[in-house]
């Protein structure tokens, strides 16, 4: 995706029906204007529309479920995940898995000893 970010943005904008425009403010250190924003100026619009588009295509969303294990077959191919919900353990098998757990800024161990803030 890092090598195809333009196409990725176009795909997600079309899939989710997002209408980005030029942001009013731009970052001074950038040589060209490169910040965009939704007309609502709200990330809620993105989350709401993305959830709607995903479920409309048959996707299921599980909230309050922390992925604890990634399942692999005997060749190491990822085949699913196991998540712990509040009331039950959830096992999901899939042809493809996307890890989208954000950066590691919230993990004190991964940030190292110097980054305490
Ligand atoms: C204070 C602040 C201000 C920002 N302002 C802007 C801005 O104005 N414009 C902008 O473009 N960007 C901004 N950013 C950056 C932007 O928020 C991030 O780049 C973006 O949210 C990253 O999205 P993500 O989906 O990769 O990860 P995240 O938004 O971090 O989402 C990851 C999700 O995965 C979940 N998760 C983690 N581990 C598991 C697990 N094991 N099982 C299940 N779920 C798990 C987390 O709970 C989280 O909900 C800002 C960031 C911060 C911190």
Q: What separation in Å is there between the alpha carbon of 104 and the centre of ligand 1? A: 10
Which protein residue has the closest C-alpha to ligand 1 atom 47? 101
Q: Give, in order, the Cα–Cα distances in Å from 103 to each of 8, 56, 110.
A: 19, 28, 10
Q: Give 82: exposed, middle or buried? Use CB within 10 Å, 0-12, 13-18, 19+.
A: middle
Residues with CB under 6 A from ligand 1: 66-67, 100-102
In sequence order, what are the residues at sequence separation of 6 or more whose Cβ sits closer than 8 angstroms to the Cβ of residue 33?
22, 23, 26
pLDDT band at 63 (very low <50, low <70, confident <90, very high): very high
Q: Does residue 34 belong to any structural domain of this protein?
A: yes
Q: What separation in Å is there between the alpha carbon of 102 and the centre of ligand 1? A: 5
48 plus 83 within the same structural domain: no
Each residue of 90-103: pLDDT tens digit?
A: 999 999 999 888 88
In sequence order, what are the residues at sequence separation of 6 or more whose Cβ sits closer than 8 angstroms to the Cβ of residue 35?
22, 23, 25, 26, 27
41 plus 75 within the same structural domain: no
Which residues share a beta bridge with 20?
Answer: 38
Each residue of 8-28: pLDDT tens digit?
A: 889 989 999 998 888 888 988
Q: What separation in Å is there between the alpha carbon of 46 and the centre of ligand 1? A: 13
Q: What is the pTM of this model?
A: 0.81
SS3 91: strand
| Structural domain boundaries enclosing 94 | 62-101
71 plus 51 within the same structural domain: no
Q: Does residue 24 belong to any structural domain of this protein?
A: yes
């Amino acid at each position: 995706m890092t090598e195809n970010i333009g196409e990725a943005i176009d795909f997600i904008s079309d899939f989710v029906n997002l209408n980005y425009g030029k942001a009013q403010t731009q970052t001074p250190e950038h040589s060209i204007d490169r910040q965009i924003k939704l007309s609502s100026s709200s990330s809620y619009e993105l989350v709401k529309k993305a959830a709607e588009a995903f479920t409309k295509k048959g996707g299921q969303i599980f909230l309050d479920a922390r992925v604890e294990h990634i399942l692999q077959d005997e060749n190491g191919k990822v085949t699913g995940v196991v998540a712990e919900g509040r009331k039950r353990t959830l096992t999901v098998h899939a042809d493809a898995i996307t890890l989208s757990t954000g950066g590691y800024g919230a993990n004190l161990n991964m940030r190292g000893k110097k980054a305490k803030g």
